Amino acid sequence: MQILLVEDDLPLAQSLRTALQKAGYAVNHVDKGHSALNAIKIELPDIVILDIGLPDLDGITVLKSLRKTHKTLSVLLLTARDSVEDKVAGLDNGADDYLAKPFEMSELLARLRVLERRLSTSKTTEICVGRVCIDTAGYRVTLDGNEIELAKKEYMVLKTLMENAGRIQTREGLESRLYSWGEEVSSNAVEVHVHHLRKKLGNDFIRTVRGVGYKVDAGGV
C-alpha cells in the first residue's frame, strides 16, 4: 500500500514515515501543496495523508484541486485545528477521514486500516484466502492455523495480493507498494519475494500471469 504523506513539520513527517514504513507501508513525503499535486499527477498513491496547514497551499485547497480529477482517492486530513467548522469543511470537500493533532500512532494506523478495507475486496481486519489468513491489525500470517514468519517485504506482497484476491497485480504495481522514492530496487525484487512466499505457502497459492504479473485466486487452493 503506497501512501503520500503531505506534511511540512519535518520532524513529525520523519517520525510518521518511519512508523508507517515499520507498519508495512511504502511512504513518500512532500512538504508543500504544489508538490503534492505534482506527485499525484505523476504517480497515483493509494492513500494521501494531508496536513491542512501547509506553507503554500492550504490543505483544503489541495483537497479541492485533487477531487476535480481523483474523486475516489482516499484522503486522510491531519490538522492542529480541532474546531467543528474545520472538520466539517474537510469532510464537505471530500476528505475520507479527519485526525486532529496530537494523536496516537495506533489511532492513525487504525484509521488507515479502515481506508484500506474500502479499497480491498476484504472488509475486515482478517483476510482469509483458502488456507492462508492475514491479521492486518496484528501483522500475523497463518497457514492452516499455524503462524508463519515473513520478512516485511514478503508480508507486503502477500497482503497486497490477498487484499485484491481475484485481481491481477502487475510487477510495477507491486513495486510501487513496496518501495518508497529513492529506495534501491533490483530488477527481480518482486520475483524474489514471490519465490520466498511460495516456499512458505506452497507453489500453487500465488499464480504467475505470464507477461503481466501475479494473482491469488479468490477461492485459494
Give CA–CA dist 45/115, Å, rounded.
Answer: 13
**Does position 122 have pLDDT exceeding 60, yes or no?**
no
pLDDT at residue 82 in the model: 63
DSSP letter at 165 equals T
Average pLDDT across the chain, whole number:
89
Instruction: Please report which confidence band the pLDDT of residue 154 belongs to, taking 50, 70 and 90 as the band edges.
Output: very high
Q: In what order do the strands lie in the sheet with 207-209?
A: 169-170, 213-215, 207-209
pLDDT digit string, tens, across residues 2-31: 999 999 999 999 999 999 988 889 899 999
- Return the higher-pLDDT residue of 211 and 83: 211
Report, as an integer, the average pLDDT of 92-106.
Answer: 91
- 8 A C-beta contact, residue 201 and residue 221: no
Radius of gyration of the chain (CA): 18
Please list, residue by residue across 13-35, b when 16 or more beta carbons sit within 10 angstroms of its beta carbon and e when fewer do: beebbeebeebbbbbbbbbebeb
Which range in 22-36, 70-84, 85-99, 172-186 is most confidently predicted, on average pLDDT? 22-36
**Does position 81 have pLDDT exceeding 70, yes or no?**
no
- 8 A C-beta contact, residue 109 and residue 23: yes
User: Domains, the chain, ranges and CATH?
Assistant: 2-119 (3.40.50.2300), 126-215 (1.10.10.10)
State the virtual CA torsion across 104, 98, 35, 118 in degrees, nearest 10: 100
User: Alpha-carbon torsion 153, 18, 32, 88, what sign?
Assistant: positive
pLDDT at residue 121 in the model: 56
**Does position 114 have pLDDT exceeding 80, yes or no?**
yes
In angstroms, what CA-CA distances link 221 with 25, 56, 137, 207, 216?
A: 27, 52, 24, 10, 9
Instruction: Please report which confidence band the pLDDT of residue 87 belongs to, taking 50, 70 and 90 as the band edges.
Output: confident
**Does position 131 have pLDDT exceeding 60, yes or no?**
yes
